[in-house]
Amino acid sequence: MNDTEPCKRLREVRARIAAAAAAAGRDAAGVRLLAVSKTFAPPALAALAACGQRDFGENYLQEALAKIAALRPSHPDLRWHFIGPLQSNKTRDVAAHFDWVHSVERLSVAQRLSRQREGRAPLQVCVQVNVSGEASKSGVEPAQLDALAHAVAQLPNLRLRGLMAIPAPATTLAAQRAPLARLREQFERLRSAGLELDTLSMGMSADLEAAVLEGATLVRVGSALFGARAKPV
Ligand SMILES: *Cc1c(COP(=O)(O)O)cnc(C)c1O
CATH of the domain at 212: 3.20.20.10
Residue 229 Cα to ligand 1 midpoint, Å, equals 10
Q: Answer whether 219 contacts ligand 1 (Cβ < 6 A).
A: no
Whether residue 233 is contained in a domain is answered as: no
In a domain, 181, yes or no: yes
- Residue 231 inside a domain? The answer is no
Q: Tell me the β-bridge partners of 124.
A: 100, 159
Number of domains in the chain: 1
Q: Does 232 map to a domain?
A: no
pLDDT score at 230: 86
Nearest protein Cα to ligand 1, atom 7: 205
Domain-located, residue 138? yes
How far from 174 is each of 18, 170, 214, 219, CA to CA, in Å?
A: 20, 9, 11, 18
**Across residues 177-204, what is the average pLDDT?**
98
As a whole-number percent, the residues of the chain with pLDDT over 70 amount to: 98
List the single range of 67-81, 123-137, 216-230 with lowest mean pLDDT.
123-137
Mean pLDDT within 40-56:
98
Sign of the torsion angle spanned by Cα atoms 12, 39, 79, 69: negative
Pocket lining: 136 vs ligand 1, CB cutoff 6 Å = no
Q: Give a yes or no: residue 157 inside a domain.
A: yes
Please give the distance, rounded to the nearest whole angstrom, from the Cα atom of residue 222 to the centre of ligand 1: 5
User: Burial letters for 176-203: b for 16+ Cβ neighbours within 10 Å, e otherwise?
Assistant: bbebbebbbebbeebeeeebebebbbbb
Residue 134, in any domain of the structure: yes
pLDDT at 153 over 90: yes
pLDDT score, position 171: 93
Q: Is a pLDDT exceeding 70 seen at residue 148?
A: yes
Mean pLDDT of the chain: 96
With beta carbons less than 8 A apart as the criterion, state whether 152 and 111 touch: no
Q: How far, in Å, is the centroid of ligand 1 from the Cα of 31?
A: 16
Confidence band, pLDDT 50/70/90 cuts, at residue 1: low
Any ligand 1 atom below 6 A from CB of 83: yes
**Residue 230 included in any domain:** no
Range of the domain at 152: 5-225
Output the pLDDT for position 136. Answer: 76
In Å, how far are 131, 137, 232 from 107, measured between CA atoms?
A: 19, 17, 30
Residue 89 DSSP code? G
Spacing, Cα 64 to ligand 1 middle (Å): 15
Q: How far apart, in whole angstroms, are the C-alpha atoms of residue 128 and residue 125?
A: 9
Does pTM top 0.75 for this prediction?
yes
